[in-house]
Structure 1
Amino acid sequence: MSTDSIADQMGPAKRGVGVAGSGRSAGPRKKNTRVRAKAWTYIIFTAPALILLLLINLYPVIYAAYQSLRNGTLIQGGDFVGFANYINTLISGNLTPAFWQAALFTLIFTLVGVFGSWVIGLVLALLLRTRIPAGGVFKVLLLLPWIVPVVVSAFSWNWLVATPQSPFPMLAQALGLGNVLFLANPTLAKITVCVFKVWISFPFMMMMMSSALASVDNNVYEAARVDGAGSWQTFSQITLPLISRSTYISWILMTIFCVNDFPTIFLLTGGGPVGSTTSLVVLAYRTVFENFQVGPGVAIAFMTTIVLIVVSVILYRQIRKASVE
């Protein structure tokens, strides 16, 4: 074989092509073809579900956003007014006092619901890690407030506190506190609703914290005891940082649950007395379905959603920081 023919064959070999067109370069092409075919297969199989989700969720959201820019009712679309519903609700409309009152109560309701249920859930989760008599039965009983339907729980609490003949008002009167009406006094009604929310929410937090604590390696606690760390130091410097990711996730979920909680408030107090326990979601419902003002009611719902998104993003960033650390 001549030197020129050898050089001609070595040229393609240096570029990764086999001698005499051996077809070595066809491998990556076949692989890319298989990847594209697999991707199109996934798209074809998931397209019906995605289209259905878009029709069920996205279209109503877009339509509601359009309705928030009109002054219509449930029957008539009304005229296009732009952002007038948002401005009138926030600043200078008839709903402005009720909106800010509902916003303040929603904030209080959410803070108490999130942190109150988290503290109780964390304490019970730590308690369940110890050996206690009848631990299995105790766990089941602690889950009952979350398992029982909220309609049943609200009815039970109404029976306990709603009328002067209810057990708690009668107990307060027997203790010399006078005629205490828990759902007729605005301040007591707020306290009752917040306590009720903590009552039905702490089992969820307890389960979240129990799962987080189960993932912590016991060797860490043993090393801390060897180093002479006390109970509070172990809890504040080891337990809390190691379960921080699950804690932030539970806060996000519970914030969404509290802000969007319609049945708890509506079934227990209906938003009264004198609107003291009306949250933003209850106000939006009343504005749309009782006052037939669709635009302002949907505007309230959208502003609530925006606030929820902002809070969720802030807490999600904390989750990412905790994951990195």
Structure 2
Amino acid sequence: MALTTAQTGLSRARRGVAPGGPGKPAKSVNRKSKLSSQTRKTFFWLLLPSVVLLILIHGYPLIYAGIQATHNGSLLDTGEFVGLDNFATVLSSEAFWKAARFTLIFTIVGVFGSWLLGLGLALLLRTKIPAGGTFKVLLLLPWVVPIVVSSTAWNWLVGTPDSLIPSICRNLGLGTPLFLADPTLAAITVCIFKVWVSFPFMMMMTSAALASVDTTVYEAASMDGASRWQQFSGITLPLIARSTYISWILMTIFCVNDFPTIYLLTGGGPVDATTSLVVLAYRTVFQDFQTGPGVAIAFLMTITLVVVSVILYRQIRKSSVE
């Protein structure tokens, strides 16, 4: 009985209804303004230069990349037309699937690891803690500091057997872990590094979403007997769902396309253990001078990102709070 009462209270709280009763429903206003033909023409001519500029900026490189992906050439010469042979070569390559597997792990850890850490810190910052403003500024440093500086600092911490963390482990009798020389430890280190440099972004996105939540809904739910966990799962998460899906889309794009985080820390090694698809595409084009297969890898990455973005965007449209 208490659980049913709490669930009813949560439902009322999400709708902004006070505990005393449902209240009067707000009158819906549906006013459709009709634009005149002249106004539409004005909007069209105002938007046309921007649309043309976007097409020139993004359309030309995309078309040229498509030409390169279907030719067997180099950076200097387009080469002969080979159709979809480059895509077939890439999809049958063991290196491609190894890089795809690491990219998937890197993305999942980067997105959900940074989101969970950012969500926890955003909830913590909503409470009254000493020097909360200063603490918030300090938490932004991993995101604000240039990635070159961050990767250099991490190399100093774990890069060699004489670095700080391996030395501490050796003094504690735990051996000397080679964080960037062992394939498994290198993959774990790169994923943790990605969470470290990404959680401030998630924290800011979540903090902005939490700031728009009216605190009275929690008071209403508390009066109806809802626990802290019920308030979090039944009010907080649904009310910030749209912002959450948007941050997941953006962070997925950031992780899949993240070249400097991996390349500056490990260069894709050891033995390709931390080689992602974007690093593999870079090596294929600029080190192996195989433009066609390298651009084909980039196209496959783009297609995957579009599919994931569409799926998450549909979740955004379904996340309207009842």
Q: Same fold (TM over 0.5)?
A: yes
Q: Is 1:225 aligned to residue 213 of structure 2? A: no
Q: Which secondary structure state, in structure 2, belongs to the residue aligned with residue 272 of structure 1?
A: coil
Is 1:160 aligned to residue 157 of structure 2? yes
* CA distance in structure 1 between the aligned counterparts of 2:304 and 2:45, rounded to whole angstroms: 36
Give the letter for the 2:227 counterpart.
Answer: G
**How many angstroms apart in 2 are the aligned matches of 1:181 and 1:319?**
42
* Per-residue deviation, residues 212-268 of structure 1 (Å, max 9, x unmatched): 111111111011111111111111111111111111111001000000001100111
Alignment of 1:172-251 (within 5 A): 172-251=169-248
Per-residue Cα deviation, 1:268-296 (whole angstroms, up to 9, x for no partner): 11100110000000100110010000110
Partner residue of 2:127? 130
What is the match of residue 284 of structure 2? 287
Q: Which residue does 1:265 correspond to in 2? A: 262
- Aligned residue number for residue 71 of structure 2: 70
Name the CA distance, whole Å, in 2 between partners of 1:150 and 1:37: 50
Amino acid at match of 1:235: F
Question: How many Å separate the matches in 1 of 2:54 and 2:69?
Answer: 22
Aligned equivalent of 1:46: 47
Give distance in 2, aligned partners of 1:64 and 1:122: 39
**What is residue 89 of structure 1 aligned with on the other side?**
90
Amino acid of the structure 2 residue aligned with 1:213: L
C-alpha separation in 2, matches of 1:106 and 1:118: 18
What amino acid is aligned across from residue 202 of structure 1 in structure 2? F
Stretch of structure 1 that moved more, 234-243 or 297-306: 234-243
Matched position secondary structure for 2:36: helix
Could you tell me how far apart the structure 2 residues matched to 1:310 and 1:172 are? 43
Number of equivalent positions: 289
SS in 1 for 2:80: coil
Give the drift of 1:76.
Answer: 1.3
* TM-score for the superposition, normalised by structure 1: 0.86
- Please state whether the residue corresponding to 2:59 is helix, strand or coil: helix
SS at structure 2 position matched to 1:286: helix
Q: Which residue of 2 aligns with 1:150?
A: 147
Q: Cα distance 1:265–1:165, how it changes in 2: closer, same or farther (>3 A)? A: same
Q: Any stretches of 5+ residues in structure 1 without a counterpart? A: 1-31
Question: 1: CA distance between counterparts of 2:113 and 2:71?
Answer: 40
- More displaced, 82-91 or 104-113? 82-91
The structure whose RCO (Cα within 8 Å, separation 6+) is larger is: 2
Secondary structure in 1 aligned to 2:52?
Answer: helix
**Higher Cα radius of gyration:** 1
Mapped to 1, the partners of 2:320 and 2:259 lie a distance apart of 33
* AA aligned opposite 1:172: C
Equivalence for 1:8: none
Quick one: distance in 2 between partners of 1:213 and 1:48? Answer: 38
- Match of residue 294 from structure 2: 297
**Structure 1 ranges of 4+ moved more than 6 A:** none
Distance in 2 between residues matched to 1:43 and 1:324, nearest whole Å: 35
- Aligned sequence identity (%): 69
Tell me the TM-score normalised to structure 2 length.
0.87
Distance 1:86 1:44, change over 3 A: same
Q: CA deviation at 1:324?
A: 6.4
Distance in 2, Cα, partners of 1:314 & 1:55: 28
Q: Structure 2: which amino acid aligns with 1:97?
A: E
Look up the equivalent residue of 2:311 and give its one-letter code.
Answer: I
The answer to whether the 8 Å contact 2:148/2:264 transfers is yes
Letter in 1 for 2:231: T
Quote the offset at 1:42 in angstroms.
Answer: 3.0
* Worse-superposed segment, 34-43 or 58-67: 34-43
Over 3 Å counting, the alpha-carbon distance change for 1:82 and 1:324 in structure 2 is farther
Unaligned segments of structure 2, at least 5 residues: 1-33
Alpha-carbon distance in structure 2 between the residues aligned to 1:42 and 1:231: 50
Task: Give the distance between the partners of 1:83 and 1:198, measured in 2 at CA.
Answer: 37
SS at match of 1:202: helix
Tell me the distance in 2 between the aligned counterparts of 1:123 and 1:100: 34
Aligned to 1:4: none
Give the root-mean-square deviation of aligned CA atoms. 1.3
Separation in 2, partners of 1:46, 1:317: 27
- Matched to 1:205, the amino acid is M
